[in-house]
Structure 1
Amino acid sequence: MASVTKWGKRGIALGAGAAATALVLTGCASSSVSDTELNGLSIGTTDKITSLDPAGSYDNGSFAVQNQVFPFLMNTPVGSPDVEPDIATKAEFTNPTTYEVTLKDGLEFANGNKLTSSDVKFSFDRELKINNENGPQSLLANLKSIDTPDDTTVVFNLDHADQTWPQVLSSPAGPIVDEDVFSATKLTSADDIVKGKAFAGQYQISSYKENQLIQYKVNPKYDGVLGKAKTDEVTANYFTKETDLKLAVQKGDVDVAYRSLTPTDISDLRKDDKLTVTDGPGGEIRYVVFNFKTQPFGTGQDDADEAKALAVRQAAADVVDRAALAKEVYNDTFTPLYSMVPDGLTGAVQPFKDMYGDGDGGPDVSKAKKTLADAGVTGKVQLDIQYAPDHYGSASDDEYALLKTQLEDSGLFTVNIQSTVYTTYAQERTKDAYPEYQLGWFPDFSDADNYLSPFFTKENFVQNHYDDSVIQDLIAKEQAESDPDKRADLIEQAQEREASQISTLPLLQGKSVAVASKDVKGLQLDASFKFRYATLSK
């Protein structure tokens, strides 16, 4: 999930995983516990949790957990991309910049504390106050203030009209937390959250070992649109290797495997009669970020030159072969991406296809050479690209090796690629440590804005020193525009503007895939892009 102002999620990865036996993984080791001891479903994943506290994370691995245990004012019912009131009875704009929500009466957290409008205000205020570098607060950039005239009424006062605000309330910025357990000024530890039973979602956490194992039990006090969970107990296990996850689901040690399996693994598992492979709507994108300060000729370099820096980014865009990446690395489980807004969303266009390479999606080395020469760039350009295969999948090794080959075979670049574990990566990338680096994105909600505002607003999730008033103005206008055709046009203009400057270089878009044993029922991957444990049973 990653974000900016209003961002789309979570630097690539929707994670919630599934492992059927209680596999506690440390490093590459694993130990198993029988299904009878688990007395429920198990889910396994290779995704990583950054923080159980919603104020400290904006990634799929963390959001997958938060979705199970925290309530939202607005949520997406199973099978729908459209939001509805969750723990609320009513939610509506009373004017273009005022959104009023009425909570249900008698709401409680699992610990017995009452859930009131005070908790709601506290939840959003603390995200903004803590302002954690990995948090989702950019999604709240349009929030001016919150009023709570009584225990069940919440009034959001916005800086400007925003058609996506109801969806923001269902996003990683939207979990409602217990003000009697969570700190108002700093992140609250997972131990304190679990001990405090500060949950009001469909499940509560009974045992928590971060990035190893989480045990859930049903929360009888949940009173929301999603209804009661189908299974009382669920165990989520975290794998360090995709091969271990594949083996576990093949052996029946896991009931469900969700993020991440390699394209080759998925192809193999489709042939297994004991398993069902479920494909869901796409939304995931993969892209390269350029740090405008530390990239070649960047603003922080001794030889800083804006025109040359742009030429470097444009030349890279000219020589990248996305079709080869999709086919050779991902067996076409991903497709070429020519905009930060993926195909299928209203307003999506393909400016990188039209503006770069051969004009039809392919590379053009001669064009790249001319771009660099016209800017006065001589000699090979050094690119130092960082990536995180433990977060974005082991296929990232092949993806970035091929990207390196494509760039170097042009004769225009010398490329160093280096991998880093994601827990370090997530911290270092925001500190100008990487001139160019891999990110992925999985949307918070199904709207083109979720692929624009998180990246290109002034205070954005990428934090790569890209600051363009033109695209910021276009984003502000599309957020406020209620006419669908006019809004789509503004979205198109924003994509074209970014493509002309290349803050980010889009590469691939994918789809969500889950693998489950034949006896698992209720597995649904829909356009909400949320993986819900509560629909599963066996």
Structure 2
Amino acid sequence: MNRKTLVLPAVVGLLAPVLAACGASGDGGDGKDAVVVGATDQFVASKDNPAPLDPAIGYEAGVWNVLRQTVQTLMHVPRGGGLPVPEAAEGCAFTDTQNESYRCKLRGGLEFADGKPVTADDVKYSMDRVIGIHAANGPVALLDNIDTVETKGEREVVFHLRTPDATFPYKLATPVAGIVPRSAYPAKSARTGFRVDGSGPYTMKAEVRHDKVVKIHFTRNPHYKGDLKVRNDKVELDLFPDAAAMGKAFDSKKIDMMARTMTPAQAQELLEEPESGVKLTEMPGLAIHYLGFDTKDPAVKDKAVRQAMAQVIDRGEIAGKVYGTTAEPLYSLIPSSIAGHTNSFYNKYGEPSTAKAAAILRSAGIRTPVKLTLHYTTDHFGVGTAAEFRALKKQFNDTGLFDVTVEGTPWEKFRPAQVRGDYAVYGMGWFPDFPDPDNFTAPFLDRNNFLNSPYKSALAQKTLIPQSRRETDRSAATKTFQRLQDVVATDVPVLPIWQGKQYVASREGLTGVEWAVNASADLQLWELAQDPR
């Protein structure tokens, strides 16, 4: 969202007793006067992931939504979107014309939640630690371009980059660049459990029941100094096993807001039959869903097979019949709401056509029907996933060119199997780390891509991605991103299906809802407040 896997439950570790404390101040909240937000993220312990809330390890949308409230970053994306602005820093800028040296000066008087000062050395330590641990499937790729981190006194830090990267300010606004105290986080190993220490707007405590986190209490950090305006003293993040349970709690007025993630049916019902005292807010959505391929697997090694699949898939049917108003067809890795988007797949394949797909396979000497298993996760991308894959199966099999079966697996087993290369074809989703076209292309095409895909494009890796990152004016990189999208449409290492919309339901009297979830699906709980009237 792993992050960056479009998430319903984000499976995370749990090695704590009933209440796992995070930060040094605040009692975690007793529910009194707290804003209560519902979510369906699941945080559970696992042998493979004992340190889910460590910024060097966690790469799930749900994990990042916890870290964003508690761990401070040098930069942040402002509430209305746009270019990153200083957060823990008082100012940051490239100091050369090649975008290879980036200097930040910290705000004066920054403190961690325990009152200890935040220094440039803490920033360097935090970045070096992520790079040194280099967690498999973690977020380290976002900092992979850092050559060295240099400090100048107590408040200045300089990042020397290996290659030009105009997107670097965005990367410093993500939790992987969160500033942590060296006293709490080992330099060469992950910090296990559920403690989080930082200098962000809140401290937090996790309430645990039957080895699962059921609620997270966020309390305003009195030592916080940054650019964010915190509009409440306490927020409770109430975690539910599914959207139905969350909806029941909302109907019973036990929570003030339903956030991640309402089902299409819940949103549709509120759209068609508005409820008194309830507000449904539609927000821009940048989430995408797609099929991924292990391009070394004999079943899909020949790109003609992948191209034929792209030729017959009916995105409109899947978006309309399975997801309704919460999704729309996607013909590129880059969503239509992001600058640089082009409908590369539609331009190449047009409307679904069995005849054209048959010609593609025939010219490549592929015998039909092509036998494939489409793998999906049963508990990570929402209740519509199973129906989506049934629809895909029918579409492929109805052509007579494919003999497709589908298989669902819980996320805890699905993700490791996908990374190992056990699946020839699999369904995944993506929430962007930041709203730039680079983050919809490089994570899939560059080295150390988060899918662990064997696919390589020399044109993408050696020419187009570096070229796009040289452009400080991101609009100047539009043609480069169009070429990247055309590469994907031709080689089909991934097959985009749909992009999502976001809906949030809130009770009357809760303000700031329109800012509480941004286009990247990041929770910004500091924006919420109860109307005193």
Q: Secondary structure at the match of 2:184?
A: coil
Distance, in Å, in 2 between the alignment partners of 1:54 and 1:326 is 34
| Matching residue of 1:29 | none
Alpha-carbon displacement from aligned partner over 1:40-84 (angstroms, at most 9, x marks no partner): 111111124471111112221111111111101001222233211
What secondary structure is seen at the aligned counterpart in 2 of 1:151?
Answer: coil
Give per-residue Cα distances to partners, 1:138-167, cap 9 Å, x unaligned.
111211110012221110001111111111
Of 109, 113, 116, 1:113 maps to: 116
1:136 aligned residue: 139
Equivalent in the alignment of 2:15: none
The Cα offsets for residues 325-356 of structure 1, whole Å up to 9 and x where unpaired, read as 01100113211000000112221101100112
TM-score, structure 1 normalization: 0.88
Which residue is equivalent to 1:338?
331
Identical-pair percentage: 32
Find 2:39's aligned residue among 31, 42, 45.
45
Q: Which residue among 470, 475, 493 is the counterpart of 2:465?
A: 475
Secondary structure, in 3 states, of the residue corresponding to 2:165? coil
Structure 2 partner of 1:31: none
Name which structure has the greater RCO, CA cutoff 8 Å, separation 6+.
1
CA 1:277–1:164 in 2, change beyond 3 Å: closer, same or farther?
A: same
User: Is the alpha carbon distance of 1:445 and 1:295 closer, same or farther for their aligned partners in structure 2, counting shifts above 3 Å?
Assistant: farther
- Equivalent position SS for 1:173: helix
Q: Which residue of 1 aligns with 2:21?
A: none
Query: Does 1:10 pair with 2:14?
Result: no
- Equivalent residue, structure 2, for 1:158: 161
Which segments of structure 1 move beyond 4 Å, counting only runs of 4 or more?
35-38
Amino acid in the other structure paired with 1:226? L
| Structure 1 pair 166–79 and aligned structure 2 pair: CA distance change class (3 A) | same
SS in 2 for 1:217: strand
Residue range with higher mean Cα deviation, 266-275 or 524-533: 524-533
Contact 1:275 1:516 in 2 (8 A): yes
1:512: which partner in 2? 502
Deviation at 1:499, TM superposition (A): 1.2
Q: Structure 2 stretches of 5 or more lacking a match?
A: 11-17, 19-28, 44-48
Change over 3 Å in CA distance of 1:477–1:48 after alignment to 2: farther
SS at match of 1:392: coil
In the alignment, the residues of structure 2 paired with residue 37 and residue 157 of structure 1 have an alpha-carbon distance, to the nearest angstrom, of 46
Which residue number in structure 1 is paired with residue 370 of structure 2?
A: 381
Pairwise CA distance, 1:442: 1.1
Instruction: Tell me what 2:74 maps to.
Output: 73
The residue that corresponds to 1:392 in the other structure is 381
Do the aligned partners of 1:320 and 1:407 also contact (CA within 8 Å) in 2?
Answer: yes
How far did residue 429 of structure 1 move? 1.5
Q: Which residue of 1 aligns with 2:188?
A: 185
**1:455 counterpart letter in structure 2:** F
Aligned to 2:407: 418
Distance in structure 2 (CA, Å) of the matches to 1:47 and 1:202: 21
1:13 to partner: Cα distance: 3.4
Summarize the Cα distance change of 1:318–1:258 in structure 2 as closer, same or farther, 3 Å threshold.
same
Specify which of 493, 496, 500 is matched with residue 486 of structure 2: 496
Aligned Cα root-mean-square deviation (Å): 2.0
- Residue in structure 2 matched with residue 443 of structure 1 by the alignment: 432
Q: CA deviation at 1:389?
A: 3.5
Which 10-residue stretch deviates more, 47-56 or 472-481?
A: 47-56
Alignment check: 8 A CA contact 1:15 1:64 kept: no
Give, as a single letter, the amino acid of the residue that structure 2 aligns with 1:535: E
Instruction: Pick which of 146-155 and 316-325 moved more.
Output: 146-155
- Other structure's SS at 1:99 match: strand
Partner of 2:320: 327
Does the 8 Å contact 1:290/1:435 carry over to 2?
yes
In the alignment, the residues of structure 2 paired with residue 329 and residue 492 of structure 1 have an alpha-carbon distance, to the nearest angstrom, of: 29
**For 2:95, what is the secondary structure of its paired residue?**
strand
Cα deviation, residue 423, structure 1: 2.6
Q: Is the 8 A contact 1:282 1:510 kept in 2?
A: yes
Give the superposition deviation at 1:260.
1.5
1:394-431 per-residue CA deviation (whole Å, 9 max, x = no partner) reads 11111111011111111111222122222332322211
For the pair 1:264 / 2:256, whether they are aligned, the reply is: no
Residues 297-336 of structure 1 mapped to structure 2, 5 A cutoff: 297-298=300-301, 309-336=302-329
* Contact preservation (8 Å) 1:240, 1:390: no
Q: CA deviation at 1:208?
A: 4.5
Tell me, in whole angstroms, the C-alpha distance in 1 between the residues paired with 2:9 and 2:203.
18
Q: For residues 106 and 405 of structure 1, do their structure 2 counterparts lie closer, same or farther at Cα, with a shift above 3 Å needed?
A: same
| Unpaired runs of at least 5, structure 1 | 3-8, 17-23, 25-34, 299-308
- Using a 3 Å threshold, how does the CA distance of structure 1 residues 528 and 325 change in structure 2: closer, same or farther? closer
Contact 2:331/2:344, CA 8 A, preserved across alignment? yes
Alignment partner, residue 173 of structure 2 = 170
